[in-house]
């Protein structure tokens, strides 16, 4: 503790070596926290300690917030093209460093390199999309008659941002893109399990020309650094992605402190519905993409697959075969689709759910165990004969476990789909567009994918109904989440002109 250098050399198992920052990133520099405490970062695929990083506590958050407030003074009134230049350069840097960033992500999170590469491509695309918005955040003139002149402005915020471990770089981009585009400033906390790529991205922010203090990145624990951010008296907003339970804690802290604005992107138990007239092979591919992508650690995972009775057996047979073909293991092997779960804790939680499914009478069609050997790997698991009351049908597992539920009619499918406290996403598979739209109209979720799944685009907003969250990320809507409206009403004196 305390003698860890602010930069360490890291050797990644795929042969890449790089210099990893370990300090808190404040005012464009990596610095020591006040008490110089560190914590270890473990690779889930090798179970080895990669390095330690410095931990932020309340006092350090105060310093970071002050930096964000100071930077706000000029950044919030900077020319849009200044911010656009930073975002475009950042996107280019992400592309140029794609192989290294993907390798860091895979080493720290355990996800397959295939998955990491996909995240990095989406990250660059999102920063480019945000760059395009810099000069489109405008106000209105409101005509209330000749006695007054009224206009509105969108005013950026000083915010705290707390991100999870399942998509460290991608969630950072969803948070920082709109900050940079709107002229907001931020203190961002990464997840304790995956702090490495956020610190590396901080280096790229400097290289992209971001002025000091605009974005500050800290590593640390939710209950300490995260709590300090959500309860901070000087922040205008907190944006969070993670569990519903913690989302509620954050909202309470925001309310009890200074009523800062809150956006929450939380959990889900999303239905993925396959109708009798679906193309079976395609639907099965989307079931797999829906639940086994990112080792199932996806907030909008299609974890409840609802299959119409006429094709149930055929889908089960095709799915079983396809799942047994999924390559699980060494995440650096380019062929691997599913890497490790993020931590031993997460793996144990998933294995407990699998046991509860077995105990409650669901049938294991395939998988159902931890994989042999080192690393936190779980077999892709399919449960059949699942009933609505079972824990595995109701609770978010956040792992590679899918529950298959049979239904007869469209009404029944919709009822099952909507019988959840969540409402993040849903999938519909059918060749009848009328049915697809009709069903989409009746499902309570923020995102509906038709004949596809986990299919994101920077222009399409994402966020949840009900316990899945508040607010939207991406699309045009996110710019409203990072600005507040200021209305200016001017009383005119139109007399006395010569
Ligand atoms: P989590 O606790 O919700 O973590 C998300 C982020 O919130 C992390 O940065 C975390 O810090 C921070 N945090 C935790 N407690 C906090 C508090 N009291 N105040 C402020 N910030 C706090 O998620 P988890 O415990 O890692 O995972 C548990 C479950 O959450 C998963 O099994 C899954 O169901 C769900 N989850 C959902 C998402 C999603 O994308 N919606 C992502 C991850 C997890 P620490 O890193 O120190 O915990
Ligand atoms: Mg880790």
Q: Are strands 158-162 and 141-142 parallel, antiparallel or unpaired?
A: unpaired
Mean pLDDT, residues 133-154: 97
pLDDT at 372: 84
Q: Which residues contact 133 (CB under 8 A, 6 or more apart)?
A: 178, 181, 476, 479
Report whether residue 297 contacts ligand 1, using a CB cutoff of 6 Å. Answer: no
Task: With a cut of 80, say whether residue 2 has pLDDT above it.
Answer: no
**Residue pLDDT, tens place only, 85-110:** 999 999 999 999 999 999 999 999 99
Mean pLDDT confidence for 309-314: 98
Domains of the chain and any CATH numbers:
7-266+464-485 (3.40.605.10), 271-450 (3.40.309.10)
Q: Is the minimum distance from the CB of 226 to ligand 1 under 6 angstroms?
A: yes
Q: Crossing angle for the helix pair 196-207 and 168-182, nearest 10 degrees?
A: 30
pLDDT in tens, 428-437: 999 999 999 9
Average pLDDT, integer, range 482-498: 94
Which atom of ligand 1 lies closest to the CA of 396?
34
Residue of minimum CA distance from atom 10 in ligand 1: 222
Which residues, chain by chain, have CB under 5 Å from ion ligand 2? 41, 108, 193
Ligand 2 mean position, distance from CA 396 (Å): 21
Note if the pTM is more than 0.85.
yes
Residues contacting 313, CB < 8 A, separation 6+: none
- Residue whose Cα lies nearest atom 29 of ligand 1: it is 243
User: Going by CA atoms, what residue is nearest to atom 32 of ligand 1?
Assistant: 398
What is the model's pLDDT at position 162? Answer: 99
Does residue 299 carry a catalytic annotation? yes
* 120-132 per-position pLDDT tens digit: 999 999 999 999 9
**Closest ligand 1 atom to 190 CA:** 9
d(CA 45, ligand 2 centre) in Å: 9
Q: Is the CB of 119 under 6 A from ligand 1?
A: no
At 25, list the tokens.
């990133």
**Confidence at 154, pLDDT banded by 50, 70, 90:** very high
Q: Tell whether the model's pLDDT for residue 485 goes beyond 70.
A: yes
C-alpha 42 to ligand 2 mean position (Å) = 4
Q: Which residues of 142-163 are buried (b: 16+ CB within 10 A; e: fewer)?
A: eeeeeeeeeeeebbbbbbbbbb
Lookup: tokens for 344: 């031993």
Q: What is the pLDDT of residue 373?
A: 87
The phi, psi pair for 111, rounded to 5°, reads -65, 160
348 lines ligand 1 (CB under 6 A): no
**pLDDT reading at 497 higher than 90:** no
- Cβ pair 56, 138 in contact under 8 A: no
Predicted confidence (pLDDT) per residue in 181-231, tens digit: 999 999 999 999 999 999 999 999 999 999 999 999 999 999 999 999 999
299 close to ligand 1 (CB < 6 Angstrom): yes
Instruction: Determine the distance separating the centroid of ligand 1 and the alpha carbon of 152, expressed in angstroms.
Output: 37
């Amino acid at each position: 503790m305390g003698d860890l250098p602010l930069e360490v050399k890291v050797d990644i198992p795929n042969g890449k070596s790089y210099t990893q920052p370990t300090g808190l990133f404040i005012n464009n520099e990596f610095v020591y926290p006040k008490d110089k405490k560190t914590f270890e970062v473990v690779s889930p695929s090798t179970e080895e300690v990669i390095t330690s990083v410095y931990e932020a506590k309340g006092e350090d958050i105060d310093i970071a917030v002050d930096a964000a407030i100071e930077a706000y003074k000029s950044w919030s009134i900077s020319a849009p093209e200044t911010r656009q230049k930073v975002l475009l350069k950042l996107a280019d840097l992400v592309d140029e460093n794609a192989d290294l960033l993907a390798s860091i992500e895979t080493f720290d999170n355990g996800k397959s390199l295939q998955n990491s590469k996909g995240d990095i491509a989406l990250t660059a695309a999102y920063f480019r999309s945000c760059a395009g918005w810099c000069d489109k955040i405008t106000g209105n003139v409101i005509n209330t008659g000749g006695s007054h002149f009224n206009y509105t402005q969108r005013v950026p915020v000083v915010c705290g941002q707390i991100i999870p471990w399942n998509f460290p770089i991608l969630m950072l981009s969803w948070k920082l893109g709109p900050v940079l585009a709107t002229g907001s400033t931020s203190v961002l906390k990464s997840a304790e399990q995956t702090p490495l790529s956020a610190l590396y991205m901080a280096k790229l922010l400097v290289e992209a020309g971001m002025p000091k203090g605009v974005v500050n990145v800290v590593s640390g624990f939710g209950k300490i650094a995260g709590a300090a951010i959500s309860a901070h008296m000087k922040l205008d907003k907190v944006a969070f992605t993670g569990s519903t339970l913690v989302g509620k804690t954050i909202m309470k802290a925001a309310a009890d402190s200074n009523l800062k604005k809150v956006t929450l992107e939380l959990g889900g138990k999303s239905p993925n519905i396959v109708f009798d007239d679906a193309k079976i092979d395609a639907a099965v591919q989307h079931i797999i993409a829906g639940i086994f992508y990112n080792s199932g650690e996806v907030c909008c995972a299609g974890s409840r697959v609802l299959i119409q009775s006429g094709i149930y057996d055929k889908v089960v047979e095709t799915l079983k075969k396809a799942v047994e073909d999924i390559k699980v293991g060494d995440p650096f092997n380019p062929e691997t689709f599913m890497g490790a779960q993020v931590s031993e804790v997460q793996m144990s939680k998933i294995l407990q759910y699998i046991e509860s499914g077995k105990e409650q009478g669901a049938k294991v069609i395939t998988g159902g165990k931890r994989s042999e050997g080192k690393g936190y790997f779980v077999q892709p698991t399919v449960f059949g004969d699942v009933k609505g009351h079972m824990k595995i049908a109701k609770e978010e597992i956040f792992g590679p476990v899918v529950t298959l539920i049979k239904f007869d009619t469209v009404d029944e499918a919709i009822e099952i789909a909507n019988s959840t406290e969540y409402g993040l996403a849903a999938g519909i598979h059918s060749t009848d567009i009328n049915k697809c739209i009709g069903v989409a109209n009746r499902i309570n979720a923020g995102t509906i994918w038709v004949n596809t799944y986990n299919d994101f685009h920077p222009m399409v907003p994402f966020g949840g109904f009900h316990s899945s969250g508040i607010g939207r990320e991406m699309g045009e809507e996110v710019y409203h989440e990072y600005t507040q409206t200021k209305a200016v009403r001017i009383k005119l004196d139109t007399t006395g002109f010569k």
